[in-house]
């Protein structure tokens, strides 16, 4: 099998086109991971019927099992990314999500199903941290916007694949195609057996890659913890507002993702089949376009030569997100869709720019830790607090009938905070790439 190699020193770094095949392999594997992570949504009704699950059980399997990996494992895996061979770690995590997909197909009770979905989440979210670190070292700092853009596109493709591929496989098994391929099991189980096989096949190209050399290392990847913590503390004036800016963006996006469908039903009188198609397309397109815009905005910001110029795209996107957060109170469905799409687009841009900033403006030994911390804190605050905050605000306004107004208030307020936080982070950014 051919091997894709990467230059060992900054002076020998190859052109972007030379490292593009390796980046595409990373993106393809990440697409597989996010497909496995989100695939259960398409088959949960079949699992509910066969296993006698309640909606509460499904909420545990779909919600808590996804949140646990973010909160508990993101930081430890981030530390391993900084101190271990990342390619081996990535392949190990890919095996974890593949095993989780296989166990989903064999689970006979709620605890086993919960464990299976948690493994899928642990593998995918952990591998994303490793993928961002690997992509950053495959190319020079001024190319990292484009490099992380490709990895992020893999994530977007996988999120879409969770609906498209899983839905297509489920329809095949529901209509009796290849009925006995997996021992005449229920269609939702056969779907996950097939997905596990697809995942295993898509991990194989990772064996073509070699670990890229780490660049921009200051204290060393095996530096004592007191040195690492001192490095973090010395950058607190920059990292604090950067964290605040991105976490509040995640709050707005998470609240929108969870409550947009109920608002469409309650305030606009639409049934789910009437908006499921265009909502899915909206999510994919904003992820695609936002990744492209974010990647190029980061690279162009670096070329501007101004302090913190890399974050200029995040500042602009956060500012545009303020009026876009008013989507729940728009006068008609068309303006609702446009504003919601703009909000998700801005969220994708800020997320990618923030990732690039961490890989360019921090030494190598801090990147995995900080990316893992971002994922953990954003998951805890964004998914743990924002949805509940919306219901609390709507209750103060008069009850569930005011869900749209509560969602708009939360979205606008956190978007304003993110705009000013990114501006502060931009002013306090290190003078240049490490």
Q: How far apart are the first and last CA of the chain?
A: 36
Closest CA to 208 of 12, 21, 18: 21
For residue 10, what are the CA distances in angstroms to 131, 133, 222, 280? 20, 16, 21, 41
Instruction: Identify the residue with better confidence: 68 or 52.
Output: 52
Query: Taking a C-beta distance cutoff of 8 angstroms, is the pair 405, 392 a contact?
Result: no
Instruction: Identify the residue with better confidence: 347 or 48.
Output: 347
259-263, 347-351, 429-433: which range is least confident on average?
429-433
Residue 172 above 80 pLDDT? yes
d(Cα 239, Cα 421) in Å, to the nearest integer? Answer: 10
pLDDT at 355: 85
| Arithmetic mean of pLDDT, 305-312 | 87
pLDDT at 319: 96
d(Cα 387, Cα 407) in Å, to the nearest integer? Answer: 9
Does the pTM surpass 0.75? The reply is no
Residue 8 above 60 pLDDT? no
Residue 72 above 60 pLDDT? yes
pLDDT at 153: 86
d(Cα 299, Cα 309) in Å, to the nearest integer? Answer: 9
| Arithmetic mean of pLDDT, 87-101 | 96
pLDDT at 125: 87
Q: What percent of the chain has pLDDT over 70?
A: 90
d(Cα 402, Cα 379) in Å, to the nearest integer? Answer: 26
Residue 433 above 60 pLDDT? no
Residue 33 above 50 pLDDT? yes
Token readout for 179 is 């009925």
d(Cα 10, Cα 12) in Å, to the nearest integer? Answer: 5
For residue 148, what are the CA distances in angstroms to 80, 321, 356? 20, 22, 7
What is the overall mean pLDDT for the chain? 84
207-258 tens-digit pLDDT: 999 898 887 665 555 557 677 778 778 888 999 999 999 999 988 988 887 7
| Arithmetic mean of pLDDT, 174-201 | 83
Query: Taking a C-beta distance cutoff of 8 angstroms, is the pair 292, 147 a contact?
Result: no
251-302 tens-digit pLDDT: 898 888 778 877 888 888 887 557 766 777 787 788 889 988 998 888 888 8
- The DSSP output letter for 269 is -
pLDDT at 225: 67
3-state secondary structure at position 91: helix
The neighbouring-strand residues paired with 4 are: 209
pLDDT at 216: 65
Query: Taking a C-beta distance cutoff of 8 angstroms, is the pair 70, 371 a contact?
Result: no
| Arithmetic mean of pLDDT, 79-89 | 89
Q: Maximum CA pair distance of the chain?
A: 65
Q: 169-208: buried (b, 16+ CB within 10 Å) or exposed (e) per residue?
A: bbebbeeeeeeeebeebbbbbbbbbbbbebbbebbebbee
Token readout for 331 is 């006068």
Domains annotated on the chain, with CATH: 16-205 (1.20.1250.20), 226-428 (1.20.1250.20)
Closest CA to 66 of 373, 384, 287: 384
């Amino acid at each position: 099998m051919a091997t894709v190699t990467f230059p060992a020193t900054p002076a020998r770094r190859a052109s972007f086109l030379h490292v593009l095949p390796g980046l595409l392999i990373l993106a393809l594997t990440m697409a597989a991971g996010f497909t496995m992570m989100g695939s259960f949504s398409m088959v949960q009704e079949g699992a509910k019927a066969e296993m006698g699950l309640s909606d509460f059980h499904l909420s545990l399997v779909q919600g808590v099992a996804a949140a646990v990996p973010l909160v508990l494992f993101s930081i430890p895996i981030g530390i391993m990314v900084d101190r271990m061979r990342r390619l081996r770690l990535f392949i190990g995590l890919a095996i974890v999500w593949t095993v989780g997909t296989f166990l989903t197909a064999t689970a006979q009770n709620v605890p086993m199903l919960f464990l299976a979905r948690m493994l899928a989440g642990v593998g995918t979210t952990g591998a994303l941290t490793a993928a961002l670190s690997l992509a950053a070292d495959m190319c020079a700092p001024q190319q990292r916007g484009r490099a992380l853009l490709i990895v992020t596109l893999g994530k977007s493709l996988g999120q879409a694949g969770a609906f498209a591929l899983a839905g297509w496989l489920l329809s095949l098994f529901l209509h009796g195609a290849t009925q006995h391929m997996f021992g005449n099991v229920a269609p939702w189980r056969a779907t996950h057996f097939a997905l596990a096989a697809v995942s295993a096949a898509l991990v194989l190209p990772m064996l073509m890659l070699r670990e890229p050399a780490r660049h921009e290392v200051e204290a060393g990847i095996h530096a004592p913890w007191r040195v690492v913590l001192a490095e973090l503390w010395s950058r607190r004036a920059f990292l604090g507002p950067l964290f605040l800016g991105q976490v509040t963006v995640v709050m707005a996006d998470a609240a929108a993702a969870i409550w947009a469908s109920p608002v469409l039903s309650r305030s606009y009188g639409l049934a789910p089949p009437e908006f499921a198609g265009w909502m899915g397309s909206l999510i994919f397109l904003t992820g695609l376009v936002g990744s492209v815009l974010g990647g190029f905005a980061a690279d162009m910001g670096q070329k501007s030569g101004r302090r913190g110029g890399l974050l200029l795209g995040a500042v602009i996107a956060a500012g545009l997100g303020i009026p876009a957060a008013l989507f729940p109170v728009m006068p008609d469905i068309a303006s609702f869709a446009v504003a919601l799409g703009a909000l998700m687009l801005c969220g994708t841009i800020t997320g990618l720019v923030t990732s690039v900033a961490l890989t360019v403006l921090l030494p190598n030994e801090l990147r995995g830790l900080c990316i893992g911390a971002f994922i953990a804190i954003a998951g805890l605050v964004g998914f743990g607090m924002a949805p509940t905050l919306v219901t609390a605000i709507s209750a103060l306004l008069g009850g569930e009938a005011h869900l749209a107004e509560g969602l708009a208030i939360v979205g606008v307020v956190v978007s304003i905070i993110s705009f000013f936080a990114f501006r502060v982070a931009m002013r306090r950014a290190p003078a240049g790439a490490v």
